[in-house]
Amino acid sequence: MNATEKAERLKLAVQKSGRLTDNSLELLKNCGLKLSRGRDQLMGFGENMPLDVLFVRDDDIPDLVQEDVCDLGLVGRNVLEEKRLEMIAKGHKPSFTELRTLEYGRCRLALAIPDGFNYEGARSLAGKRIATSYPFTLENWLRERGVSADIVTLSGAVEIAPRLGRADLICDLVSTGSTLQANHLREVETILESQALLIRTPVELPEGKQEWVDRLLMRIDGVQQVRESKYIMLHAPRSALPEIRRLLPGSESPTIIPLEGSGDRVAIHAVCRENVFWETLESLKKAGASALLVLPVEKMLA
Ligand code: ATP
Ligand code: ZN
């Protein structure tokens, strides 16, 4: 590989090992990327696209992208927002560009109280000690509510802080709530809803790289769409068409095919951009449909 070819390769930052790693790699795989690497290695090289992956801690991803070390990054909104507020607090100007919100990494930053804490809204937090790994996001939330509390910044094991007497309550990431439950904590407020994001460098990319970013985005959109999409086939009398079209979830223009030898009946094929549930099939049947078939969609390119 010569120097220009190397410069033309996109560099994407991905969490090395953690909750975002598998989903991020799966997304790239679904976009057609073949990576050669061992998981313990720092870099993965795209074999069939000019895109290489840099494996790092998720907390480093916003800086790597903002400082143009990487062109792209996959990171949680929680981490990005904390970084953004930290920069503002320190007098810097953040310039993150979000390209897409992705379907994975869903969690929320939430306040949770131990048994015996009497919570009656943000006012109850005045003067309390709150343990968190997200001091800037929490600070911002408290400020917006005019409440002053004591933020105890911890880098991990936030959920045991109340038991250790280090804090009165916590502000931590939650997805199912089972960790909170195990620690006798009860969620009382959502501070931030989070999902994984694709972010890009603030610096303009050379044409060749930008083209690949655009292609990647188109593929990501396709991947995200097919996840929910279904191909539905059914037979129905022509007279039932308006009602059936109304019932088909998120489909634009179904294909209508006459059925050989069955007079008024037609076959209807449609791509539904939402999941098709049993209730929908039952309603379609009631409207006159028969021979209903629902198939998964593998790829889609608008
Ligand atoms: P690293 O070593 O890369 O710093 P970490 O321990 O900070 O890893 P993980 O626990 O792997 O991070 O979480 C990575 C990201 O996954 C979080 O920042 C968040 O965006 C997302 N996430 C999704 N669900 C959860 C959850 N239940 N708890 C924590 N993070 C979650
Ligand atoms: Zn981290």
- Return the SS3 of 136: helix
Ligand 1 atom closest to 106 (CA) = 23
Cite the DSSP H helix spans in the chain. Answer: 3-7, 21-30, 61-66, 77-89, 135-144, 178-182, 207-228, 241-247, 278-286
| Residue 234 identity | L
CA-nearest of 132, 92, 96, 126 to 111 is 132
Q: Would you say domain 107-193 falls under CATH 3.40.640.10?
A: no
Q: Which fold has domain 3-105+196-226?
A: D-Maltodextrin-Binding Protein; domain 2 (3.40.190)
- Number of the ligand closest to the Cα of 156: 1
Ligand 1 geometric centre to CA of 138 (Å): 17
Ligand 2 geometric centre to CA of 63 (Å): 13
Ligand 1 atom closest to 105 (CA) = 23
**Pocket-testing residue among 77, 173, 192, 198, ligand 1, by greatest number of atoms within 8 A of Cβ:** 173
Neighbour count for residue 127 (Cβ, 10 Å): 10
CA distance 236 to 12: 49
The domain spans of the chain are 3-105+196-226, 107-193, 230-296
Ligand 1 atom closest to 77 (CA) = 20
- Number of the ligand closest to the Cα of 173: 1
Per-residue CA distances from 299 to 20, 31, 100, 229, 232 (Å): 23, 10, 19, 10, 15
The residue whose CA has the least distance to atom 30 of ligand 1 is: 173
Sheet with 265-272: strands ordered across: 255-258, 265-272, 230-237, 290-296
- Assessment of whether the complete model's pTM goes beyond 0.75: yes
Q: At what angle do helices 21-30 and 207-228 cross, to 10 degrees?
A: 100
Q: Contact, 171 vs 111, CB < 8 A?
A: yes
CA-nearest of 156, 165, 170, 163 to 113 is 170
Ligand 1 atom closest to 175 (CA) = 27
What are the pLDDT tens digits along the chain (302 aa)? 555 555 689 999 999 999 999 999 999 999 999 999 765 689 999 999 999 999 999 999 999 999 999 999 999 999 999 999 999 999 999 999 999 999 999 999 999 999 999 999 999 999 999 999 999 999 999 999 999 999 999 999 999 999 999 999 999 999 988 999 999 999 999 999 999 999 999 999 999 999 999 999 999 999 988 888 899 999 999 999 999 999 987 777 899 999 988 889 999 999 988 778 898 999 999 999 999 999 999 888 87
**148-164 burial code (b ≥16 CB/10 A, e <16):** ebebbebeeebbebbee
Around ligand 1, the residues with Cβ closer than 6 Å are 15, 18-20, 57-59, 76, 78-79, 105, 107, 173, 175, 194
pLDDT, position 261: 86
- Return the SS3 of 157: coil
CATH architecture designation of domain 230-296: 2-Layer Sandwich (3.30)
Neighbour count for residue 126 (Cβ, 10 Å): 13
Strand bridging mode 10-15 / 72-76: parallel
Beta bridge partners of 113: 186
- Return the SS3 of 109: strand
Please tell me if the domain spanning 3-105+196-226 has the same topology as the one spanning 107-193.
yes
**Pocket-testing residue among 14, 15, 19, 179, ligand 1, by greatest number of atoms within 8 A of Cβ:** 19
Per-residue CA distances from 12 to 3, 104, 136, 300 (Å): 19, 17, 26, 24
Maximum pairwise Cα distance, the chain: 80
Q: Which residues have beta carbons under 5 A from ligand 2 (an ion)?
A: 58-59
pLDDT, position 37: 77
Q: Contact, 202 vs 79, CB < 8 A?
A: no
